[in-house]
Amino acid sequence: MASNTLMAGVVQFLKDHPPFSQMDGADLEFVARNVEVAYYARGEVLIGPDDGAPGACFIIKQGLVEGLRRRPDRPEADLEPMVQRVPGEMLPISALMAQRPVMSTYRAAGDVFCWLLPKARFDELLQRSPVFLDFCKRRMASLLDLSHQALQASYAAGTTHWRSIQAPLESLLGRAPVTCEPHESLRAVFERMEGERVGAIIVIQPNGGQGDKVAGIFTRQDVLGRVVLPGRSLDEPVRSVMSAPVVTMDVGDTVGEAMLVMADRTIRHIPVMRDGRLAGVVAERDLFVLQRRSMNQIGDAIGRAASVEDLKLPAADIRHWSRALVAQGVSAAFITRLISRLNDQLTVRLIELEAAAHGVPLDRICWLALGSEGREEQTIASDQDNGLIVADDFAASIDALLAFAQAVNQGLDACGYPLCKGGIMAGNPKWCLTLSQWKALFDGWIERGDPQSLLNANIFFDFRPLAGDPSLAHALRDHVAPRAAAVPRFLKQMSDNALRNGPPQSWTAGVFETLFGREAAVVDLKMNGTVPFVDAARLLSLAHNVRATGTVQRFEALAEAGGAVPREVHNWIDSFQFLQSLRLRAQHMGEPTPEGNPNVLDTRTLSALDRRILKEAFREARLLQQRLAMDYPG
């Protein structure tokens, strides 16, 4: 039995490290009463795969522990460092939970002191502490929750006026919706809107006992353009000027989903349904407070733009908005999707303007978004990646189309979306091709599998139709997807290529102390962080004929198709999204690095918690790459 003084020391230490920092005092005292101290000299193994199921949970008190493992594709090679465990961390949680041997060899990288919590007491702690159980069952997600809370708290005193992204729309509903029927006169509708002081009225069509059907919507913004300027009589029925059909959402949908719908459709009001009946209306002002320009003001500015000059201001506002969202701790997945949606709107408007100026029929072409834009994962530092599909019977017009595409590329550059340094743009003759030429191009990449073909595949397989005739892009996807899945050699070559980029390779104690210690330490969050997840998701989706283009959507579809274990998929997604959030934060800080790379982060700027999550994310990237090495050996 430990003395009261020793117990107090253990409790005080644990309070500084998750999940213990979130646990009740009684549970911390339980841990302190039941641990024993163990010492390991440099090079000594704490536990390895041949030791059977672990008999205790190791809580590192002092020193550094390396987790080492052999790569499946190189079984004859020496053990390679996979992850580092530092004071306050536990091991081996997964093996303890599953009652199986560990998969890695854990070795002391110096003098190491650990507290050992016997397996029986570990199991008892799982039963008595919901916080500890939650952490052990979803370690990465629990750490991310704490990180998001810390980030949001750091901005709470200043700029946090943002509704919770995950809150259901039902939480925003207040008063009963103001409604009218299609036959009612404009005069009666205006009087009702003025008397109720609302900005929108929902037009409903009675449907007997089945509830009322939402037939349309009329807003104050419609009055000038639809009633006053056309000189309509106030005796006309509202159905003659209402907007229809109407986008509706369910009370269980989230604030974030509503924001994306508003961004997509450039609308300010959404009727909310409960069990098929109108429950209320959510307005843009319900979602946002004190933003410099609202989302739909940006959308309106894009829609009204008549030139490239007109698009420069909303482009700048998109970047301003994204920085504000980063500052408020909004999830990276939501931010990158919102950036991509707004950038889509701007690009489509620019394409429309240039198509009109150059006499280009949009129904004969399809503008492709590629790379991060194709995946809807754009950050505020993304450049252009695009291409153009031309209908086969319109091939004679390619020269004229090149001038159009080059004008779009130059216009995007003027709006702050840099030209692609690699020339992957629709204005490049290499990427302005007929549908048949695109099919042949992809066939050649799949057949050859040389380094340049694999590089092109990494960019072009993420294509998504943006403007013009989307059936051209769908036809290309229908052609390419089954061909890629049917060529094992190509998948193996893509796997080998995907393994070239990964977390920092040298994880010896010295390197680790440099990477996460007091000295200057930078990490490329794109090449060493997000790229391994993006490449793996692309490869696995091709192998399983998944048609999604986004990394998260690909992982989710893989789990649904049985191509991956759901628990592993959750860890991949959490890790990828955390790395994306760090990229956005690095770009948000805007501090120049010696490399001039917006994705480089000095790890000294991270909290201890975020450094810990970064290590976990790197560990998941390594495990995912091991999965690729096992799936595509030899």
Residue-wise pLDDT for 199-223, tens only, equals: 899 999 887 666 678 999 999 989 9
Query: Would the pLDDT of 616 be above 90?
Result: no
Going by pLDDT thresholds of 50, 70 and 90, the confidence category of residue 518 is very low
What is the Cα–Cα distance from 102 to 92, expressed in whole angstroms? 7
What is the Cα–Cα distance from 362 to 89, expressed in whole angstroms? 57
Going by pLDDT thresholds of 50, 70 and 90, the confidence category of residue 297 is confident
Contact partners, residue 246, CB within 8 Å, separation at least 6: 202, 214, 215, 216, 217, 271
Do 538 and 458 contact (CB within 8 A), yes or no?
yes
Widest Cα–Cα separation across the chain: 90
pLDDT attached to residue 197: 84
Query: Would the pLDDT of 260 be above 90?
Result: no
Q: At what angle do helices 608-631 and 531-543 cross, to 10 degrees?
A: 30
pLDDT attached to residue 162: 46
pLDDT attached to residue 290: 36
pLDDT attached to residue 326: 73
Query: Would the pLDDT of 154 be above 70?
Result: no
Going by pLDDT thresholds of 50, 70 and 90, the confidence category of residue 143 is low
pLDDT attached to residue 579: 93
Q: Of 40 and 268, which is predicted with more confidence?
A: 40
pTM for the model:
0.68
User: 3-class DSSP state for residue 245?
Assistant: coil
Strand runs (DSSP E) across 48-163, as ranges? Answer: 56-62, 65-69, 80-85, 90-91, 105-108, 112-118
> Lowest-pLDDT range, 16-30, 173-187, 517-531?
517-531
In order of 74, 105, 265, 332, the CA distances from 77 in angstroms are 6, 15, 55, 38
DSSP H stretches of helix in 499-565: 509-516, 531-543, 551-560
What is the Cα–Cα distance from 118 to 36, expressed in whole angstroms? 9
Structure-token match 């990646």, residue found: 385
What is the Cα–Cα distance from 171 to 165, expressed in whole angstroms? 12
Going by pLDDT thresholds of 50, 70 and 90, the confidence category of residue 427 is very high
Going by pLDDT thresholds of 50, 70 and 90, the confidence category of residue 593 is low
User: 3-class DSSP state for residue 502?
Assistant: coil
In order of 384, 450, 495, the CA distances from 489 in angstroms are 31, 11, 10
Contact partners, residue 481, CB within 8 Å, separation at least 6: 542, 545, 547
Residue-wise pLDDT for 74-91, tens only, equals: 555 566 666 678 888 898
Going by pLDDT thresholds of 50, 70 and 90, the confidence category of residue 291 is very low
Q: Of 344 and 602, which is predicted with more confidence?
A: 344
Residue among 577, 550, 587 at smallest CA distance from 373: 550
Query: Would the pLDDT of 500 be above 90?
Result: no
365-369 vs 386-390, strand pairing mode: antiparallel
> Lowest-pLDDT range, 252-266, 324-338, 364-378?
324-338
Residue-wise pLDDT for 90-138, tens only, equals: 989 888 988 899 888 999 988 999 999 999 999 999 999 998 988 888 7
Query: Would the pLDDT of 366 be above 60?
Result: yes
User: 3-class DSSP state for residue 366?
Assistant: strand
Tokens at residue 431, please?
């990427």
Q: At what angle do helices 295-304 and 308-327 cross, to 10 degrees?
A: 170
Tokens at residue 560, please?
């649904």
517 burial type by CB count under 10 A (0-12 exposed, 13-18 middle, 19+ buried): middle
83 burial type by CB count under 10 A (0-12 exposed, 13-18 middle, 19+ buried): buried
Residue among 112, 116, 115 at smallest CA distance from 41: 112
State the sign of the Cα–Cα–Cα–Cα dihedral 564, 501, 578, 295: negative
Query: Would the pLDDT of 510 be above 50?
Result: no
Neighbouring CB atoms inside 10 A of 153's CB total: 11
What is the Cα–Cα distance from 535 to 10, expressed in whole angstroms? 43
Q: Of 177 and 509, which is predicted with more confidence?
A: 177
Query: Would the pLDDT of 396 be above 50?
Result: yes
pLDDT attached to residue 160: 40
Going by pLDDT thresholds of 50, 70 and 90, the confidence category of residue 146 is low
SS3 readout for 154-199: HHCCCCCCCCCCCCEHHHHCCCCCCEECCCCEHHHHHHHHHHHCCC
Query: Would the pLDDT of 249 be above 80?
Result: yes
pLDDT attached to residue 1: 47
Which stretch of DSSP H or E encloses residue 602?
Answer: strand 600-602
User: 3-class DSSP state for residue 92?
Assistant: coil
> Lowest-pLDDT range, 289-293, 340-344, 369-373, 559-563?
289-293
Neighbouring CB atoms inside 10 A of 111's CB total: 13
> Lowest-pLDDT range, 70-74, 467-471, 533-537?
70-74
Q: Which residues pair with 179 in a beta bridge?
A: 202
Query: Would the pLDDT of 599 be above 90?
Result: no
Q: Does residue 579 come out as left (phi exceeding 0), alpha (psi in the -120 to 50 range) or beta?
A: alpha
Q: Of 392 and 610, which is predicted with more confidence?
A: 392
pLDDT attached to residue 85: 81
Contact partners, residue 13, CB within 8 Å, separation at least 6: 61, 88
User: Across the chain, what does the average pLDDT equal?
Assistant: 85
Contact partners, residue 218, CB within 8 Å, separation at least 6: 189, 200, 201, 203, 238, 241, 242, 243
Do 460 and 387 contact (CB within 8 A), yes or no?
yes
Residue among 385, 460, 462, 485 at smallest CA distance from 426: 385
What is the Cα–Cα distance from 107 to 79, expressed in whole angstroms? 11
Q: Of 391 and 516, which is predicted with more confidence?
A: 391
What is the Cα–Cα distance from 534 to 371, expressed in whole angstroms? 10
Q: Of 628 and 142, which is predicted with more confidence?
A: 628
Going by pLDDT thresholds of 50, 70 and 90, the confidence category of residue 158 is very low
Going by pLDDT thresholds of 50, 70 and 90, the confidence category of residue 379 is confident
**Tally of CA atoms within 13 A in the half-sphere of 383 that contains its CB:** 13
Burial 339-355 (b: 16+ CB within 10 A, else e): bbbbbbbbbbbbbebbb
Report percent pLDDT > 70 for the chain.
86
Tokens at residue 514, please?
């440099």
Structure-token match 């393994």, residue found: 499
